[in-house]
Amino acid sequence: MVFSKKIKRTLISLVALVSLVSCGAVFTTPVSADTSSSYRNNEVNLDVKSAIAIDSNSGQILYAKNADKTLPIASMTKLITVYLTLNTIKNKKLSWNQKVKPTASIVKVANNVEYSNVPLKMGHSYTIRQLYQATLIESANGAAMLLGQTIAGSQKKFIDQMRAQVKKWGIEDAEIYTACGLPNGNVGKDAYPGVNKNAENTMSAKDMAIVGQHLLKEYPEILDTTKLAHLDFKDGNKTTKMVNFNWMLKGLSQYDQAYPVDGLKTGTTDAAGACFIGTVEHNGARLITVVMGARHQDGTDPSRFIQTKKLMSFIFNKYHLVTMTAGSQINGAKSIKVTDGKDATTNIGLKNKTTIWDPADGKTLTASLNKKTIDAPLEKNQTVGNYQLKSGSEKIVSLDNPNGMNVKAKALSANGKVNFFVRIWRWLFGGR
């Protein structure tokens, strides 16, 4: 009788388990508030409307001020134009030495002395390389528009490509109307149809950081151009001496050897104020910073670079870089329970070599795993989940996960699955 009751209880449990699985039961964990829009912003006073600093490789957020707020981005727009140019060349639909001629409307923009430009002439031919260099160094609006025209066949079609590209990156709040960053009405006949002439391209500081991250990951050679303080643009017998608007480069007025910046792009309009997405290598890691809406009293105002230095100084002094090799274990999550495994647990460690900007506050770097258990069998080096990292009680956040930072964990050894009879025995009587 006792045995039959036990069988009955077992069968009931089995039915309940099957029902639960069949119904697709879902367990949810409360998500904490997004901390990535304003992260450590009370620790440094930046005179800008918004800002962000991230690790270029991992996307770890190191500082943020109103980072989700959409604002005019002006000529920082050109980085999207350049990305699509590089992508088109990579796909062999365009070549560096290919020569193209500007349209009348592009020539009109390119010769407007109120804008940053390299003058293009009707009937003259220019290589893609020339236009690319002029876009990045002199922030030439006509050159950027001609790149877009060549790639897509019209400004509207190119703008549509730009919009599609940023959506691929997960950017949903962007408004894009021109390939160069000028207000819509300032590009004449090439204005995006059905849109107010005062409409400007807008994105958030976080969005711009994503753009910079993709550029540097996929086309690091962009730095070979963005690091140039000066370059000549030759058009027949005429030479235009281009000077980079990034004054933090060596040889220009805001250069500081403590911050050897080698990119990326400035942006300025009346609505945007002074903007700058910068990048610098530090102790083997690469930092991306974005400042938007800095003061812009006139063309000699260095405010955006002063604020960038202040931000970089904060990062360099308030963080220290920790590089851990693949297989390294982190306090707080050194093993995981294994269901039906020959061993009850399996040791885990980092899937890949990982660099973390650890706040220099004396607090211990710890981790938790997004899974409590995993099913056997496990192979050595198999991915078992993601670490979420903390420094003391402070979360380490990233662009991908504003409520934490996902770092892949792997099994450090294999763990086979026990046979059916052992599983039944454990189920009925417990134990291993």
CATH of 57-320, one of 3.40.720.10, 3.90.950.10, 3.40.710.10, 2.40.110.10: 3.40.710.10
Identified catalytic residue from 75, 116, 391, 398: 75
Query: Of all helices (H) and strands (E), which one includes residue 157?
Result: helix 155-168
Per-residue confidence of the chain (432 residues) as pLDDT tens digits? 333 444 434 433 433 333 333 333 332 233 334 567 889 999 999 999 999 999 999 999 999 999 999 999 999 999 999 999 999 999 999 999 999 999 999 999 999 988 988 999 999 999 999 999 999 999 999 999 999 999 999 999 999 999 999 999 999 999 999 999 999 999 999 999 999 999 999 999 999 999 999 999 999 999 999 999 999 999 999 999 999 999 999 999 999 999 999 999 999 999 999 999 999 999 999 999 999 999 999 999 999 999 999 999 999 999 999 999 999 999 999 999 998 888 989 999 999 999 999 998 888 889 999 999 999 999 999 999 999 998 888 889 999 887 778 899 999 999 988 776 666 766 766 665
CATH class label, 325-429: mainly beta
What is the pTM assigned to this prediction? 0.88
Identified catalytic residue from 139, 204, 391, 398: 139
Task: Enumerate the domain spans of the chain.
Answer: 57-320, 325-429
| Joined tokens for residue 129 | 């390389």
Q: How far is CA 41 from CA 36, 38, 51, 63, in A?
A: 10, 6, 9, 6
Identified catalytic residue from 78, 206, 395, 410: 78
| Interatomic CA distance for residues 101 and 121, integer angstroms | 8
User: Does the annotation mark 139 as catalytic?
Assistant: yes
CA atoms within 13 A on the CB side of 232: 6
User: Does the annotation mark 125 as catalytic?
Assistant: no
User: Does the annotation mark 78 as catalytic?
Assistant: yes
Q: Do 403 and 34 contact (CB within 8 A), yes or no?
A: yes
Helices (H) and strands (E) in the chain, counts: 10, 20
Cα–Cα–Cα angle for 217, 318, 385, rounded to 5 degrees = 50
If we measure between CA atoms, which residue out of 369, 287, 399 comes closest to residue 34? 399
| Joined tokens for residue 408 | 């892949």
